[in-house]
Structure 1
Amino acid sequence: MSIRLGYQMPNFSYQTPVRDLFPTVVRQAREAEAAGFDAVFVMDHFYQLPGIGEPDEPMLEAYTALAGIAAATESVQLSALVTGNTYRNPTLLAKTVSTLDVVSGGRAVLGIGAGWFELEHRQLGFEFGTFTDRFERLDEALQIIAPMLRGERPTFDGTWYRTETAINEPRIRDDLPILLGGGGEKKTFGLAARYANHLNIIANAAELPRKLDALARRCEEAGRDRSTLETSFLAFVMIDEDGDKAREMQRTFLLSRGVDLEALSEEERAAATDRQFVGNPDEVAEQVQARVLDVGVDGIIVNLVTNGHQPGIVELAGRTLGPLVRG
């Protein structure tokens, strides 16, 4: 498994009839595959996130959508970025991702994190608990899921979960990859050092040097060679052949979320846009190279939150960023 260039769909608000929603998803996935992306991701949420839209905007269930994408693609890897551990029993999640692997011919990746969106939990009846609770649950879940993905039959009796010689068949392979997503330098990075093939770092780009130093410490504590844990960064990319048009998309998007760039100080503006890479292809490539790859992160996962559903934009992003991560 290697994910140097990934494409994430952060929304399904395409201003189309619902019957046209999934065809738009499939077209993006196919365009990403053709453009050389290593993986396609959807979010594992039931409501839209506050930084992107309103709670009642369209949101597909992740694994049902991924199975549909699997049937419409041939080679691209498929994952949630990332599965909220709190939404599914770990044995069910092991079965779900293994089934996706069978359906896709060995292309599934288990992306997983602790869960954080309290509104979803409260309104839909999922137990949220404390920050500590959620990470204890994730640790226990990984102790169950990881062996189940390898064909072992774990018996586990924890605070949150229990299993008795849990069976997970059929499987297409014994090395289905695990990707952890998050920015927590102690808990998330510590779990990644113990369990993951890949860590997707959720943070401001300015924080990446510190994050990578922390990850190196967690790997050392776990007795793991840091170079064996691949890393990526999740970036909001707003790209157009016309850089001014891309910057206008950024301004309009941020205004929709209550942020007026023109009213902010230079320092506030930098903080509000730290995860965003905006402009024409040359500008975006330069920003990603300098702010992410030169720092030491292995790869980039992009969402095209403003225009990814428009034909040709995913291809443009792939053509722009592929050469940076492939050398």
Structure 2
Amino acid sequence: MTIRMGYQIPNFSYPGGPAQIFPTVIAQARAAEAAGFDTVLLMDHFYQLPGIGKPDEPMLECYTALGALATATERVQLSALVTGNTYRNPAILAKTVTTLDVVSGGRAVLGIGAGWYALEHNAFGLEFGTFTDRFDRLAEALDIIASMLHGEHSTHDGARYRTDDAFNEPRVRDNLPIMLGGGGEKKTFGLAARYADHLNIICDPADLPRKLDALAARCDEAGRDRATLETSFLTFVIVDEDEQNARRLQREIVLNSGTDLDTLSEEQRAQATARHFVGTPDQVAEQLRTRVLDVGVDGVLLNLVGNGHQPGTIELAGAAVSAALAG
């Protein structure tokens, strides 16, 4: 597995109403495939997230949608960025992602994290617990899931989960990759060093050098060669052939989440837009290269919250990422 160039679809508020949502998702996935992206990813949430929109904005169930995308694409890997571990029994999740792998002809990636969105848990009657509780559950879940994805039988008697000789058939391979997502330098990175093929690092770009140092330390502690754990960084790309149009769209996106950039101090504005990569394709490529790739991260995952559904935008973003990766 290699994820160097991923396209995430986090927003389903499109013109035309509910009937046009999935045709628009399919069009984006196919455009990403044609533009050279190696992976298409969906969020695993039930409500839209703060910072992107309001909770009652459209949100598709992740694995149902990924299964449908498997039949609409040919080459791209398919993944959640990332599955909330608290939303599903881990053995059933192993079965779900393996079925996606079968349906897609070996293109599934299990992206997984501890879960964090309290509103969804409360609304759907799911146990949320403390930060420590959620990571204890994730550690147990990974023990079960990794065994089942690798063709082994799982027997686990833990504080949170139990399996008794659970197995997983059919499978098209015994090395379905696991991607962890998060920024926790001890818990998340420690679990990634033990279980993951890929780590998607969540942080501000300025923090990446420290995060990579912490990841190297966790790999040393686990007796793992750091070079065997691939990394990526999730970026919010706002790209247009006209820089001023891109800057205008950035203001609209931030305003939709409740913040007016024009009312902020320079320091506040920098903090609110730290994960934004904005401008023409050439400008975005330079930002990705200097702020992410030159630091030592292997790949870029991006979303186009404001205009990814508009024809031609994914192609511009793909050109930017390809140029950044080419150096």
Shorter-chain TM-score: what band?
Answer: over 0.9
Structure 1 residues 69-115: Cα deviation after superposition (integer angstroms, max 9, x where no partner)? 00000000000000000000000000000000000000000000000
- 1:260 is matched by which residue type in structure 2? D
- Asked if residue 149 in structure 1 is aligned to residue 149 in structure 2, the reply is yes
Post-superposition offset of 1:323 = 3.0
Please give the alpha-carbon distance, in whole angstroms, between the structure 2 residues aligned to 1:92 and 1:133: 20
1:113 aligns with 2:113: yes
Q: Provide the C-alpha distance between the structure 2 equivalents of 1:317 and 1:183, rounded to a whole number of angstroms.
A: 25
- Counterpart position of 2:279: 279
Q: Please give the alpha-carbon distance, in whole angstroms, between the structure 2 residues aligned to 1:278 and 1:211.
A: 23
Per-residue deviation, 1:324: 2.2
TM-score, length basis structure 2: 0.99
Runs of 4+ in 1 over 6 A off after TM superposition: none
- AA aligned opposite 1:23: P
1:128-153 deviations in whole A, cap 9, x for unaligned?
00000000000000000001001100
Structure 2 counterparts to residues 209-224 of structure 1, below 5 A: 209-224=209-224
8 Å contact 2:285–2:323 — kept in the other structure? no
- Distance in 1 (CA, whole Å) between partners of 2:56 and 2:222 is 42
Secondary structure (helix, strand or coil) at the match of 2:119 reads helix
Does the 8 Å contact 2:286/2:324 carry over to 1? no
Deviation at 1:244, TM superposition (A): 0.4
* Match in the other structure for 2:35: 35
Single out whichever of 10-19 and 176-185 deviates more from structure 2.
Answer: 10-19
Task: Compare 257-266 and 148-157 and name the one that shifted more.
Answer: 257-266
Measure, in 2, the Cα distance between the counterparts of 1:256 and 1:53: 6
The corresponding residue for 1:179 is 179
SS in 2 for 1:155: strand
Unaligned runs of 5+ in 1: none
- d(CA) in 2 for partners of 1:302 and 1:22? 20
Which residue of structure 1 lines up, in the alignment, with residue 293 of structure 2? 293
Matched, 1:170 2:170: yes
| SS at structure 2 position matched to 1:133 | helix
Please state how far the C-alpha of 1:17 moved relative to its aligned partner. 2.2
Percent of aligned positions that are identical: 71
Instruction: Tell me how far apart the structure 1 counterparts of residues 191 and 57 of structure 2 sit (CA, whole Å).
Output: 32
Amino acid at match of 1:114: A
Separation in structure 2 between the aligned mates of residue 291 and residue 279 of structure 1, nearest angstrom? 15
What amino acid sits opposite 1:277 in the alignment?
A: F
User: CA–CA distance in 2 between the matches of 1:265 and 1:190?
Assistant: 37
CA shift at 1:326, angstroms? 4.5
Match of 2:86 in 1: 86
Which deviations, in whole Å up to 9, do the C-alpha atoms of 1:250-291 show, x marking residues without a partner? 011111222222222222111111100001111111111111
- Aligned residues of 2:199 and 2:230 also touching (Cα < 8 A): yes
Q: Which residue of 2 aligns with 1:66?
A: 66
- Give 1:249's aligned amino acid: L
* TM-score, with length taken from structure 1: 0.99
Distance, in Å, in 2 between the alignment partners of 1:60 and 1:20 is: 13
CA distance in 2 between partners of 1:325 and 1:84 (Å): 30
Give, in whole Å, the separation in 1 of the partners of 2:15 and 2:204: 30
Q: What are the Cα deviations for residues 179-210 of structure 1, in whole angstroms up to 9, with x where unaligned? A: 00000000000000000000000111111111
> For 1:301-320, what aligned pairs fall within 5 Å after superposition?
301-320=301-320
Q: Which runs of 5+ in 2 are unaligned?
A: none
Aligned residues: 327
Partners of 1:124 and 1:16 in 2: how far apart? 28
Aligned to 2:248: 248
- Structure 2: which amino acid aligns with 1:90? P
Matching residue of 1:229: 229
- Aligned-pair CA distance for 1:167: 1.3
Partners of 1:15 and 1:136 in 2: how far apart? 42
The code of the aligned residue for 2:126 comes to F
**2:267 counterpart of 1:267:** yes
